[in-house]
Amino acid sequence: MSEQKKKSGTPLLDELEKGPWPSFVADLKKLAEKKPAVGQLLEQMEQSYETRVNYWTGTVLNLDGYGGGVIARYSDLGKKLPEVAQFHTIRVIEPSGWMYSTAALRELCDISEKHSSGILQLHGMTGDILMLGSDNKTTFEAGEALMQKGWDIGGSGGALRTLACCVGPAYCEMSCFDTLEVTKRLTDHFISYLHRPELPYKFKFKLSGCPNDCANSIQRSDMPIIGTWMDDIRIDKDEVAKFVAEHGEEYVVENVITRCPTKCIHLRKKEIVIENADCVRCMHCINVMHKALAPGKKRGVTILLGGKRTLKIGDTMGSVMVPFMPLETEEDMERLFDLVGRIWEFWGENGMEHERVGEFIERVGLATFLEGVGLEPDPRMVRHPRTNPYIKFEEYTGPQIAGEPKVAPPVLDKENEPRESI
């Protein structure tokens, strides 16, 4: 494809070379000079821009022995654009916190340039390094090259997905646990589930070091693990005094005191007083007065379950399964592994195909789910107890999984004693 043709060939996309924000079109047009597939990719996109029709058809391509991690695409325009007839994406597990040495990044670049189209997406929404543009043959070459350098492939289908976590202790003072380390430990421990589709459907972990949830775990992962603390918020009185002096009391009342969701923080005689038993660890006061206030020292995580987006039943967010547990020692990690194992077992046995764990919980009921995975009901798992009297007491009906009662109710169809009647 000649320079000439490429230029005139994508007039619509060319519009995206304008403007101050860095242009992927400009970048890829340059790349197209050495990678013809990229030129044809832009041509196909140009046609989509004209017709508002998409030209990719999806299918499944497994890296042998891994079961997933490749998103395979065939072009509907493959006859016209043979270079993109097959144009797959490899999902590569990223380092915790998206931390890199330049050496590592350059390694990825080399592999991408050699075995693929030379396009990287840093990073996919799940967190992976996305390597776009290999065909049925080069996908395996790229995979092999990656693995030889110690990289590993991410998940797809009914499998665990690549984990993601916030920067945590690497530079953030809010962090209440070691997000980077736990992410790596979980990945390595469950790596087989990441590669082989053994679950009813996809399962994502995301880890945030504190309730600010910079990893978006609560709405974008099946198991959000979020740092928190259980003792008192630490207060630096001098810094409080400085803050109050600088901003004034009214500012503090209107921006800190009144914003506390449980009204448990007070400004009394220019000092901050917190009723820690009522504090829900929302982070607001700490965020605003971050030099004066800090999370407590008794730290750990809250574990939730069931976040996902819209498909089928509308968005769900993760909801509390373990209100608080420490996550520091080897035993803590074992407890976490064990919990995950129990959840996958129960969901695995009773979940339907394509049923995310949040959908499953909703179908069988939270209480039944807790019983199934061996967790004690805790009022912190719910906003509030039920508002309706429709309780299925088990003496008579048995717990239900998938709509079937375990125990036949002994009272059904029992005859009343005849009553005296006029």
Partner 1 sequence: MAAIEQKKMAPRDQGAPNYKEYLHPLMVKNYGKWKYHEKVKPGVIKRVAEGGDVLWVVRAGSPRTLSVDKVRGICQIADKFCKGFLRFTSRANVEFFVDRLEDVEPLVREVRDKLGFPIGGTGNGVTNIVHTQGWMHCNLPGTDALGAVKALMDELYDEFTNERLPARVKISLSCCSINCGGQADIAVNLQHHHPPKINHNNMQICELPKVVAICPVAAIRPATVGSKNSLEVVEEKCMYCGACHGQCPSMEIRDPDTDTLSLWVGGKSANTRGGPSFMKLALWGLPNNPPRWPEVGAAVKTLLRAYKDSAKEYERMGEWIDRIGWKRFFDLTGFPFTKYHIDTYRFARTTFNTSTQVKP
Residue ranges that bind ligand SRM, judged by CB under 6 A: 58, 71, 73, 89, 91, 97, 123-128, 130, 154, 162, 166-167, 172-174, 202, 204, 212-214, 216, 220, 287, 308-311, 356
Whether 327 and 177 have beta carbons less than 8 Å apart is answered as: yes
Nearest of 134, 34, 37 to residue 92 by alpha carbon: 134
134 binds a second copy (CB under 8 A): no
283 binds ligand SF4 (CB under 6 A): yes
Q: Which is nearer to ligand SRM, 31 or 289 (CB)?
A: 289
Whether 109 and 123 have beta carbons less than 8 Å apart is answered as: no
CB of 313 to a second copy, least distance (A): 9
CB of 420 to a second copy, least distance (A): 6
Q: Which is nearer to ligand SRM, 200 or 300 (CB)?
A: 200
* Residue 138, contacted partner among ligand SRM, partner 1, ligand SF4, none, CB below 5-8 A by kind: none
212 binds ligand SF4 (CB under 6 A): yes
310 binds a second copy (CB under 8 A): yes
Whether 156 and 194 have beta carbons less than 8 Å apart is answered as: no
* Residue 308, contacted partner among a second copy, ligand SRM, ligand SF4, none, CB below 5-8 A by kind: ligand SRM
Q: Convert residues 85-104 into a mask of x (bound to partner 1 by CB under 8 A) and - (unbound).
A: -xx-x---xxxxxxxxxxxx
Nearest of 332, 278, 275, 276 to residue 300 by alpha carbon: 332
* Identified binder of partner 1 from the candidate list 143, 197, 295, 351, rule CB under 8 A: 143
136 binds ligand SF4 (CB under 6 A): no
**Two structure tokens written together for 287:** 């965020």
Task: Indicate the pairing of strand 223-229 with strand 119-122.
Answer: unpaired
Q: Which is nearer to ligand SF4, 136 or 262 (CB)?
A: 262
**Two structure tokens written together for 398:** 């048995």
How many CA atoms, within 13 angstroms, populate the side-chain half-sphere of residue 16? 15
Q: Distance between CA atoms of 47 and 57, rounded to whole angstroms?
A: 15
CB of 60 to a second copy, least distance (A): 16
**What are 227's strand-pairing partners?**
301
Nearest of 386, 367, 365 to residue 378 by alpha carbon: 367
* DSSP secondary structure, 215-235, as one string: T-HHHH-SEEEEEEESSPPEE
**Two structure tokens written together for 138:** 């080069």
Footprint (CB under 8 A) of partner 1, residues 353-392? 353-354, 362, 365-367, 370-371, 377-392
Footprint (CB under 8 A) of partner 1, residues 272-331? 276-284, 287-288, 290-291, 302, 304, 306, 309-320, 323-324
**Two structure tokens written together for 239:** 């810094």
* Identified binder of a second copy from the candidate list 26, 36, 48, 76, rule CB under 8 A: 76
277 binds a second copy (CB under 8 A): no
Task: Indicate the pairing of strand 265-268 with strand 400-401.
Answer: unpaired
Segment lying near a second copy (by CB under 8 A), choices 70-78, 100-108, 119-127, 208-216:
70-78
